[in-house]
Structure 1
Amino acid sequence: MSSIQLFRPRAFGETSRRDIWWIQPLAVFLGFSAFIVYSTWAAFQNAHYTFGPYLSPFYSPEIFGDSHHALFGPKPGWWPGWLPFSPAFLILWAPAGFRFTCYYYRGAYYKAFWADPPNCAVGEPRKSYWGENSFPLIMQNIHRYFFYLAFAFIVILAYDAWKGMWFEDPATGATSFGIGIGTLVLIVNVLLLGS
């Protein structure tokens, strides 16, 4: 008589895989965490974000600020005194909204931060699938709208790279074309973000 093997759900982390499957989610967890810590520090620093024609992408476009790149002048009067001010606070939400809701990042940080699933063919921490149809995960569906904002930032960063090719001579005030390491960094940033 033949027998039928019934499927038994795997326990959390249980797998038949023989490779070191946990390295990729761990690397993503460490990389994302490091980036979040660095970007938060860079935004709160509110200093050293401009040099000559260069403007840090974390601060671009500088809507309000103290540098010559500011579109509307210094910190606005309506900004609450108890709240730290940084030009980065006014713009970082848009590219972050796109990156944290895009499909690739969702798959990566679901595995890395929530272990849901930990990896392919590895047991999950819960037994049912909830999907993205309840708060807060339903907010992931705004990804398509953040795309338009993120695309605008690619155009703005390309313009900043263009402005980074024009240097002012402090002695004469004359502007001349040039390419420095900062210019190359700004160009590569635009190419990588836009591809």
Structure 2
Amino acid sequence: MTTTATRPIGARPRAAIDAKTLRTDKWWIAPLLTVIGLTAWVAYATVRVFMHKYFWVENYHYLTPFYSPCVTDRCADAGAAEFGAILPNWWIIPDAAFSLPFLLLFRLTCYYYRKAYYRSFWMSPPACAVPDGHKTYSGETRFPLIFQNLHRYAFYAAGLISLINTWDAIKAMHSPGGFGLGLGNIILWINVLCLWAYTLSCHSCRHIVGGRLKHFSQHPLRYRFWTFVSKLNTRHMGLAWTTLATLAITDFYVMAVSAGWFNDLRFIG
């Protein structure tokens, strides 16, 4: 026995609408800008990672974050192998081979970036009140999206890499000529501070700090840190884009000084 849905007596029939969406605003601009922005950044980063030069300024110990920690024989030859040269000089191997995969995993699985590339590259969905670009939806329960659950573990690696970037900024204050301060130092520190803000604003960090607590009053330090992280969390999207900009600017500045395009503006030393 089968039943069919019936319309209540007196109810108006639903309008037959052929259009996919009734939105008349330019809703497609946001996903388009996301595609352009992320594509441009990935293209630049890929070229720089496999360029294998102009990543180190020996006079001031400037090391681009794209190559930190530098672990190939190239790094040792340049004097940038702070933690030792472990890998050979094969072109296909990035000089920061140990950190880049974890940073990529952290960004790919980031809650904001998921929203960004789901809506832009996958059109799933591209905007509110706009149909999904796919007929079926299984969430993040199947391959490959099930690996998004690794985000909480990638957070720990990202925190460790932020510590290494901080060490790079500290070392750059003590060049072979002694203590010094230049425009490059300021750029390195701005990038480090932004990276810390983005990393700490992570949803996983907020859960780690304040999750599974039944009484905040019994954990005042964790509550205070949770409050701080929660304020950062509200700016997670802005910090995600800001750090992409600071990473590119820092790398370009180090590359330009290393290549001799211009000299570092020195204030001390």
TM-score computed with the length of structure 2 as normaliser: 0.63
In 1, Cα distance between equivalents of 2:181 and 2:36: 34
Runs of at least 5 residues in structure 2 that lack an aligned partner in the other structure? 1-8, 198-269
Deviations 1:50-73 (A, max 9, x none): 003100101111122232121223
Counterpart residue number, 1:194: 196
Pairing partner for 1:73 from 71, 85, 90: 85
Counterpart residue number, 1:144: 152
Matched, 1:97 2:108: no
Shift in Å at residue 74 of structure 1? 6.8
Shift in Å at residue 136 of structure 1? 0.6
Deviations 1:89-140 (A, max 9, x none): 3321111110110100000000111000011111112233210111111111
Matched, 1:15 2:26: no
CA contact (8 A) 1:116 1:125 kept: yes
Matched, 1:34 2:36: no
In 2, Cα distance between equivalents of 1:9 and 1:124: 17
Partner amino acid, structure 1, of 2:184: G
Pick closer, same or farther for the CA change 1:124–1:166 going to 2, 3 Å. same
Counterpart residue number, 2:124: 116
Matched, 1:55 2:63: yes
In 1, Cα distance between equivalents of 2:18 and 2:68: 47
Secondary structure in structure 1 of the residue aligned to 2:97: helix
Partner amino acid, structure 2, of 1:179: L
Secondary structure in structure 1 of the residue aligned to 2:78: coil
CA contact (8 A) 1:110 1:116 kept: yes
In 1, Cα distance between equivalents of 2:126 and 2:10: 35
Matches within 5 A, 1:176-191: 177-191=179-193
Identity across matched positions, percent: 40
Pairing partner for 1:158 from 151, 166, 169: 166
Deviating more after overlay: 86-95 vs 182-191: 86-95
The alignment covers a number of residue pairs equal to 183
In 2, Cα distance between equivalents of 1:56 and 1:26: 29
Partner amino acid, structure 2, of 1:69: A
Pick closer, same or farther for the CA change 1:117–1:180 going to 2, 3 Å. same
Partner amino acid, structure 2, of 1:114: W
Say what the alpha-carbon RMSD is for the aligned residues. Answer: 2.2
Runs of at least 5 residues in structure 1 that lack an aligned partner in the other structure? 170-174
Counterpart residue number, 1:3: 11
